[in-house]
Amino acid sequence: MFSPTEGKLVQECAKGLVPISVEAAGDERRLTFELPPAEHRLLTGEEIDELNAILGHKVLADPAPAVVDVGAVWIAAEISDVDSLLGIAPDLASCADFERRLGAIGVCLYAVSDTGIETRSFPTSTGVNEDPVCGSGNGCVASFRLKASQIGQGDSYIARQGRMTGRDGFVSIRIDSDHGVFVGGACITTMDGTLKS
């Protein structure tokens, strides 16, 4: 749910209200939100084996894959390289079942690239095979990477996502001095309106 509050946007999620800042430059708008504090649970060895079977590819054991809850709950894991990540074709039915059992809405995978990272998000339990560009998924990955000390205070990077869905999206990630995770990107309005209850 989005609602205007004192000139700002607010999105409601399971962790509460998330303020969204809007910057405009000509016709382009950039939206940025601070990720709510994350909770992490490492996957068990058995769960990692099941995830590997679903993906048809092994995830890295270090950092250990985890369920990351930032309001939206994702299973986050790293893949060894971008080409391998782009080649993954998960068993979607098994993935949806796995997500439901772990209380997640999807699996978000990433691989480190020369310019930042590449991500792919599979929220199959929600009825979407692959999300082209996902803010909450990239936020969970950023929180996962922060906890694993792959990134730290003051770092920023660009996550590329969507090539396998015919899109080419870019999400900016920034870690502030208090280790807050900020997720942002350029946005295009496709629908505008007001909901009244």
Run of H or E including 142: helix 135-147
- Residue matched to tokens 């004192």: 6
Residues 87-108 have pLDDT tens digits of: 999 999 999 999 999 999 999 9
Residue 192 in any domain: the answer is no
Residue 122 in any domain: the answer is yes
Does the pTM surpass 0.85? The reply is: yes
Contact partners, residue 105, CB within 8 Å, separation at least 6: 72, 73, 74, 99, 123, 125, 126
Residue 133 in any domain: the answer is yes
Residue 45 in any domain: the answer is yes
Residues 44-80 have pLDDT tens digits of: 999 999 999 999 999 999 999 999 999 999 999 999 9
d(CA 86, CA 88): 6
Residue 146 in any domain: the answer is yes
Residue 9 in any domain: the answer is no
Predicted pLDDT at 170: 94
Q: Which domain holds residue 166?
A: 22-187
Residue 4 in any domain: the answer is no
As for how many domains the chain has, the answer is 1
> Residue 35 class from Cβ within 10 Å (0-12 exposed, 13-18 middle, 19+ buried)?
buried
DSSP 58-85: PPPSSSPPEEEESSSEEEEEE-S-HHHH
Instruction: Please report, for the domain that includes residue 31, its CATH number.
Output: 3.10.310.10
